Amino acid sequence: MTPCESPPLSRVDLVADHSHSHAHVHVPARTVLTAAALTSAAAAAEVLGSWRSGSLFLTADAVHLMAHLGIFIVLLIPTTRSHEQREDFAAVAVLVLVTLIAVGILIDAIQKLLSTATEAPSPAFMLLALLGLTANLATAYLFRDPAATRWSFRAALAHELADATVTIIALGGAVAIALFAWRWVDPALTLVVGVWLVVWAGRLLRRRALIGSRAWVLEKE
């Protein structure tokens, strides 16, 4: 395979040059929307599964997948100079939202870990996490091209791969529940999700605080 040469001016670029706006559109909206559709479907299935099974992990994973929709919205914002402030504001808003969701997940997980009334969920329903895993891996695959040139997509791709890892650990947890009916596994997995999200959002917010709005566009030019 030969590496792709950088293409000549695309139709989008030519159209943009005729228009007054200096649009330089490289964000593949269809890619982001496909990833969003897969993610929404997985989240919906997990919400239903969490109701039936009582799995806190499935609830946390579903809520977390919905937070991805916020990330996808940020990726859809055109990257013209005039839109950078909007992209920056949206990115910070999503990260703050993810942090709040993560804190909620952590509180729920700790309460369930400490509660003696906690019962192990039906592990079979936790297989629904496979849908989340599929959405994570499909999104990572779809983002591999834009991730080569855009830092925001690279961050999103890395996040999806880390999510996939957490989900694989959770599937191991479901096996443990099936074998040993351990009560603490489901809230412990939930705790892992909460900690991972706090670390991820915290690191990006710290990057934003340290280097300003350039945090999102370093590799854009």
| Contacting positions for Zn ion (CB under 5 A) | 163
Closest distance of CB 159 from Zn ion, Å: 5
Residue 186 in tokens: 């489901």
Between residues 67 and 177, which has the closer beta carbon with respect to Zn ion?
A: 67
Between residues 16 and 36, which has the closer beta carbon with respect to Zn ion?
A: 36
Closest distance of CB 196 from Zn ion, Å: 8
CA distance linking residue 144 with residue 153, whole number of Å:
8
Cβ neighbors of 94 (< 8 A, separation 6 or more) are: 67, 70, 71, 73, 74
Closest distance of CB 120 from Zn ion, Å: 25
The alpha carbon of 21 is separated from its chain's Cα centroid by a whole number of angstroms, namely 31
Answer left, alpha or beta for residue 54, where phi above 0 means left and psi between -120 and 50 means alpha.
left
Question: If DSSP codes are grouped into helix, strand and coil, which group holds residue 20?
Answer: coil
Residue nearest to Zn ion (CB): 163
Closest distance of CB 200 from Zn ion, Å: 7
Between residues 149 and 165, which has the closer beta carbon with respect to Zn ion?
A: 165
Between residues 94 and 188, which has the closer beta carbon with respect to Zn ion?
A: 94
Residue 8 in tokens: 């000549």
CA distance linking residue 185 with residue 191, whole number of Å:
10
